[in-house]
Structure 1
Amino acid sequence: MSNKPANSLANVHSSVNPEGKTGWKRVLAFLGPAYLVSVGYMDPGNWATDIAGGSAFGYRLIWVLFASNLIALLLQSLSARLGIVRGLDLAQASKNAYPRFVNFCLYLLAQIAIIACDLAEIIGMAIGLQLLFHLPLIWGVSLTITDTVLMLFLMNKGMRKLEAFIMSMIFIIGVSFLIEMFIVGPDLAGVAKGFIPGNLSGSALYIAIGIIGATVMPHNLYLHSSLVQTRQITRTDEGIRSSIKFNLFDTVIALNLAFIVNAAILILAAAAFYKNGYFKVAEIQDAYKLLEHIFGAIAPTLFAIALIASGQSSTITGTLAGQIIMEGHINLRIEPWLRRLLTRVLAIVPAVFTIIYFGESGLGSLIILSQVVLSLQLGFAVIPLIHFTSNKKRMGKFAISLKVKVLAWASAVLIVGLNAKLVYQQIGDWITQYPSSAPWIYILVTPLVVGIGVLLLYVFLRPILFKHNDEPARVPHGLASTIENVEPITYHNIAVTIDFSTNDTDCIRNAIMQGGKRAHYTLIHIVETAGARYYGTEVMDHETQSDVDNLDIYVNALIKLGYKAKAQIGYGSAASSIAKIVNGDDIDFIVMGSHGHRALKDLIFGTTVNTVRHLVNVPVLVVKPGIIS
């Protein structure tokens, strides 16, 4: 029995082949995954935290941004190493290491992080649309749901085209801020001093946590471990070592570019706002207005264009991460457009709620809160990642060294420690500000925090205290069984769906090839008129009568040829009516014609074949027009 796990991002797995290339061509073939990851380091959430930090504290938080980038480099390189060496993404590896319930909890936390990230992207794109086209924010938020179409289009075009689109967005962002940096003219000495670490407390700690959450995004660790598997590599020590080296180049280049962009935003905010006495610019809209007031029309226009590019590209990578997390942790595989739609709707709701009840001015605070939520989830991705990549039994000679392990655990302790300090400080502030609500905070919030803390402790201790099976217990489509003996199957009652098209003859021929003259054939046609949907068998309009007569022609023709055939008319929904006839008429095989719809037509007209397959317990043969099995 094969226990091979399902491939991560199976539709693009090993779709880029760098083998056989030499020199720069080989290096370029490996470049790409980290650029998709780096988009998450340049999304509107980063913008909000960088603008808030720069306007409130000048250049003093650059060191936090720099330290966050170093941590991100370390953790993303570990993520890539896990995917290359073990051929598993972080979610799949977690599924192997932890019980089902813990995986479900990890999935929920990761999904919350993706929704929080998506929330920042929604708000950022809506603000960008408002700045360029004066569109009300609530309209812009609503319009962001349409980016699902662009995501599907790019996914279907292949990995390289998707990476090219993302790189073009990064180029737009980078050029926009490079021009703005020349316009602003920052204080270089002040920038240099900003790299010196300082004490963090109060609002500085809150914004610093937001910067860490916006920089070291948890879902990027899942994403990177999967994206590196889009490259075909030779599964030898040399091939794996070469892949790790080239992906490290990819990671260093991409994330340092992301750091330059983020540093540019913070420096821009410090030079434009802090220097001019605007200390509380936490709103992206305020940044736009002040940029226009101080530097003229070109700076805010570039700012808005970069903001839209950032939000759109981050949306695509967030969708990929959602697919990886859902399939890896809980074995659930659904259509990408549906998953994208659900995530987007769950993110749109709090944005719309904030606009309605707190006004557009509340969106800036909501973005920063979303980044703090990301940071709070980091420990649940970082701790398992360090465990997996330092396990010599699983990673062999590619397990991380003691030096790297110490740096990784130090980063994890820093992240978890700062988050714990923030949570403790925040609960204390709530109790002080709202003393009448203190009992509810103790009853509701405290147990939740304790429960999450216990879960984090379990995630840390489990791989140390318990050995786990290296092979996945579950994959989305189950495991292949051993084939010992194959006997021919005889079908006695075969159903053929009829739609009075040129496909009917092919369907009937395929049915006869399966059953011959020994089987009974039921020709099924469903009347889907409005009358049929409302009145069912009582309807007998012109279309229904015509369909009955045409179906009888088919039946009589088959009988004349010596076959046993009968007609069955159904009413209403095609899929449910077909299933009802099949399940109630002792049918043991179905032949259906493919309607040939694609993409938008499937959404409009439905997918009858797929729905029927899930409503019946018999084999379904799908016949395309003009094809005979």
Structure 2
Amino acid sequence: MPFKMRPKNGTTETSLLLSSSTEASIETNTSPETVEEERAGFEEVIIKPEIETGVVESGFSWFKLWKYTGPGFLMSIAYLDPGNLEADLQIGAVAGYSLLWALLYAHITGLLIQCFAARAGVVTGQHLAQLIKNNYPRPISIMLWVITEIAIIGSDIQEIVGTAIALKILFGLPLWLGTMLTALDTFIFMLLQNYGMRKLEAFFMTLITTMAICFWIEMFLSGFNAEEIVKGIIIPYVPRRAIIQLVAMVGAVIMPHNLYLHSALVMTRKTDPSSHVKLKEANFYFAIESAVALLASYLINMAIVVVFAQVFYSPNEEKPLPGLYDAGKVLSNTLGYASKYLWACGLLAAGQSSTMTGTLAGQFVIEGFFGKVLKKPWHRNAITRGIALVPSMLVAIFAVGNFDAMGELLNVLQSLCLPTAIIPLLKLTSSKEIMGTTFKTNNFWKIISWTLAAIIICINLFLLVLYLEVLDNILLGYIFGGIYFVFIGYLSLLPLNGNKNNSQNNLQIEN
């Protein structure tokens, strides 16, 4: 049986690594020049399926689930970054337990969208950045790349400065120095990458476990009300003064660059693109793994909301909301001196894990849209980290006193950037030419997914109107806001290019 190779242009390898053992399985009528060209195409790939998933088994298998476990937990780290922690503590501080339902629905929405991203990567063998590059006009794909980079920078500012705040609480380091030290995570990340994806996934799972232990200990120390937790999860209610925090939470929970990351990470597992059964198995286990990972994420976020609902919330009193640094003081004054160190350890784990996955997402985004700009991995990592580190340093030095207000604004920025990732993803996964008849989104999930996208866009419209009221030049704000929503509408209606490579790729999916 000859090994079927996907077209070189804009595609990635999803079944076997090209090595001496697989070269022999290339059809014998291929010329040496063609083989070298195909080899060069494979060498452009930065994601290699290094983890064996075995043959298809009937029924559910825990061992098989373990083989597929990893990408979902790396994806879930974006739901636990310092921006999310700040949104959580402010929700608890301003609304008590009443917005736990919204936090749950945000995670459920995130799960659905992340499953679309994972499915796109599994079925096509291309991650979201590559799919956009190959199926949208070049000017539009460049614009989407720019917006995604803005979202990555905004997220990284929160993550890097959040790590610096944790270092300040633990060791008394000034923010600018803590921000400089976070640059070291690039070297840690490169070191871990040399040990393989499984070791990298284990490291991140350890950081998630650290967060869970720290924040759940604090929740038990706070003396939480279990009845109020259940009520907050079941009964939808939004206090009037918590509307901004609610909307900011949506921006903090679902991040646009995370869709690019997840669609790429699933390609680290070996699948057979010519086998419907194998692709269905991969989609099934990735969906379960993502659900478990986001459940863990929800429980950690919930713990933070509950803690600050207990120690800070006062329904009849308006107080300045705490930020990431003030949170340590609040906990120290109410739960004891050691509690601020638990908070700092959890915050440090959140900051370090999210900056590393942000580096990885940035690498996938840049190389997906533009190919391998640099050959050496450490060059790519250093440049990707530098893009976010420079603005983060400027924030740490010049905006230290206003960082908490800026954190809320950055969450809003994530929310505004989100539709530019969701809309292409939904259109791509609904395309028969790209996904094949079997794996394209059916009508039921189309309605659900586009309804959620419409809700997110409406939230963004509300955010725009809300923030225009505080601008000095409101006319300029309306002009840029109008351009933004015209672009979103255009993106929704714009047909895909129908790149001829899609039909060639689809032959393998259909066969």
TM-score, normalized by the shorter chain, greater than 0.5: yes
Counterpart residue identity of residue 501, structure 2: E
Q: Hey, what's the Cα distance between the residues in 1 that align with 2:187 and 2:480?
A: 38
Counterpart residue identity of residue 210, structure 2: I
What is the TM-score when the length of structure 1 is the normalising length?
0.69
Counterpart residue identity of residue 468, structure 2: I
Q: How many residues align?
A: 460
Mapped pair 1:273 → 2:312: yes
In structure 2, relative to structure 1, the CA distance for the partners of 1:11 and 1:328 (3 Å cut) is closer
The residue aligned with 1:459 is 491
Q: Note if contact 2:222-2:310 (Cα within 8 Å) is conserved in structure 1.
A: yes
Q: Note if contact 1:52-1:282 (Cα within 8 Å) is conserved in structure 2.
A: yes
CA positional deviation for 1:193: 2.7
CA positional deviation for 1:352: 4.0
1:5 to 1, 10, 23: 10
Q: Hey, what's the Cα distance between the residues in 2 that align with 1:244 and 1:470?
A: 25
- Unmatched runs of 5 consecutive residues or more in structure 1: 474-629
Q: Note if contact 1:154-1:161 (Cα within 8 Å) is conserved in structure 2.
A: yes
The residue aligned with 1:301 is 341
Q: Note if contact 2:152-2:388 (Cα within 8 Å) is conserved in structure 1.
A: no
The residue aligned with 2:34 is none
Mapped pair 1:323 → 2:358: no
The residue aligned with 2:482 is 450
In structure 2, relative to structure 1, the CA distance for the partners of 1:95 and 1:63 (3 Å cut) is same
Comparing 126-135 and 298-307, the one that deviates more: 298-307
Q: Mark the structure with the bigger radius of gyration.
A: 1
CA positional deviation for 1:472: 7.4
CA positional deviation for 1:344: 3.8
What is the TM-score when the length of structure 2 is the normalising length?
0.85
Q: Note if contact 1:122-1:141 (Cα within 8 Å) is conserved in structure 2.
A: yes
Q: Note if contact 1:283-1:361 (Cα within 8 Å) is conserved in structure 2.
A: no
Q: Hey, what's the Cα distance between the residues in 2 that align with 1:343 and 1:116?
A: 14
The residue aligned with 2:322 is 282
Q: Hey, what's the Cα distance between the residues in 2 that align with 1:381 and 1:90?
A: 9
Counterpart residue identity of residue 167, structure 1: M
CA positional deviation for 1:5: 2.9
Q: Hey, what's the Cα distance between the residues in 2 that align with 1:468 and 1:429?
A: 43
Q: Hey, what's the Cα distance between the residues in 2 that align with 1:141 and 1:361?
A: 15
CA positional deviation for 1:467: 5.0
Question: Following superposition of structure 1 onto structure 2, how do residues 62-73 of structure 1 map, counting pairs within 5 Å?
Answer: 62-73=100-111
Q: For 1:381, what is the secondary structure of its paired residue?
A: helix
Question: Following superposition of structure 1 onto structure 2, how do residues 215-254 of structure 1 map, counting pairs within 5 Å?
Answer: 215-235=253-273, 236-254=275-293
Question: Following superposition of structure 1 onto structure 2, how do residues 412-561 of structure 1 map, counting pairs within 5 Å?
Answer: 412-430=453-471, 434=472, 438=473, 441-443=474-476, 445-463=477-495, 468-471=498-501
Mapped pair 1:403 → 2:444: yes
Mapped pair 1:17 → 2:52: yes
CA positional deviation for 1:25: 2.1
Q: Note if contact 1:52-1:280 (Cα within 8 Å) is conserved in structure 2.
A: no
Q: Hey, what's the Cα distance between the residues in 2 that align with 1:6 and 1:122?
A: 33
Q: For 1:82, what is the secondary structure of its paired residue?
A: helix
CA positional deviation for 1:356: 4.1
Counterpart residue identity of residue 306, structure 1: G
CA positional deviation for 1:151: 1.1
The residue aligned with 2:75 is 37
Q: Hey, what's the Cα distance between the residues in 2 that align with 1:346 and 1:366?
A: 19
Identity %, equivalent residues: 35
Q: Note if contact 1:12-1:159 (Cα within 8 Å) is conserved in structure 2.
A: no
Q: Hey, what's the Cα distance between the residues in 1 that align with 2:349 and 2:379?
A: 23
Q: Hey, what's the Cα distance between the residues in 1 that align with 2:396 and 2:81?
A: 21
Question: Following superposition of structure 1 onto structure 2, how do residues 201-216 of structure 1 map, counting pairs within 5 Å?
Answer: 204-216=242-254
CA positional deviation for 1:19: 1.1
Counterpart residue identity of residue 265, structure 2: L
CA positional deviation for 1:282: 3.2
Q: Hey, what's the Cα distance between the residues in 1 that align with 2:397 and 2:129?
A: 37
Aligned-pair RMSD on alpha carbons? 2.3
Q: Note if contact 2:49-2:269 (Cα within 8 Å) is conserved in structure 1.
A: yes
Counterpart residue identity of residue 296, structure 2: L
Higher relative contact order (CA 8 A, sep 6+): 2
CA positional deviation for 1:285: 1.2
Question: Following superposition of structure 1 onto structure 2, how do residues 172-191 of structure 1 map, counting pairs within 5 Å?
Answer: 172-191=210-229
Counterpart residue identity of residue 208, structure 1: L
Q: Hey, what's the Cα distance between the residues in 1 that align with 2:460 and 2:372?
A: 30
2:406 to 360, 363, 366: 366
Q: Note if contact 1:44-1:311 (Cα within 8 Å) is conserved in structure 2.
A: yes
CA positional deviation for 1:345: 3.9
Q: As a proportion of its length, which structure holds more strand? A: 1
Q: Hey, what's the Cα distance between the residues in 2 that align with 1:427 and 1:343?
A: 32
Counterpart residue identity of residue 301, structure 1: Y
CA positional deviation for 1:171: 0.7
CA positional deviation for 1:272: 1.3
Q: Note if contact 1:79-1:90 (Cα within 8 Å) is conserved in structure 2.
A: yes
Q: Hey, what's the Cα distance between the residues in 1 that align with 2:255 and 2:122?
A: 20
2:434 to 394, 415, 423: 394
Q: For 1:125, what is the secondary structure of its paired residue?
A: helix
The residue aligned with 1:612 is none
Mapped pair 1:61 → 2:87: no
In structure 2, relative to structure 1, the CA distance for the partners of 1:204 and 1:343 (3 Å cut) is farther
Mapped pair 1:255 → 2:294: yes
Q: As a proportion of its length, which structure holds more helix? A: 2
Q: Hey, what's the Cα distance between the residues in 2 that align with 1:378 and 1:469?
A: 25
CA positional deviation for 1:310: 1.0
Q: Note if contact 1:282-1:365 (Cα within 8 Å) is conserved in structure 2.
A: no
The residue aligned with 1:28 is 66
Q: Hey, what's the Cα distance between the residues in 2 that align with 1:148 and 1:460?
A: 36
- Unmatched runs of 5 consecutive residues or more in structure 2: 1-5, 14-43, 504-511
CA positional deviation for 1:330: 2.9
Counterpart residue identity of residue 263, structure 1: M
Mapped pair 1:80 → 2:118: yes
Question: Following superposition of structure 1 onto structure 2, how do residues 79-118 of structure 1 map, counting pairs within 5 Å?
Answer: 79-118=117-156
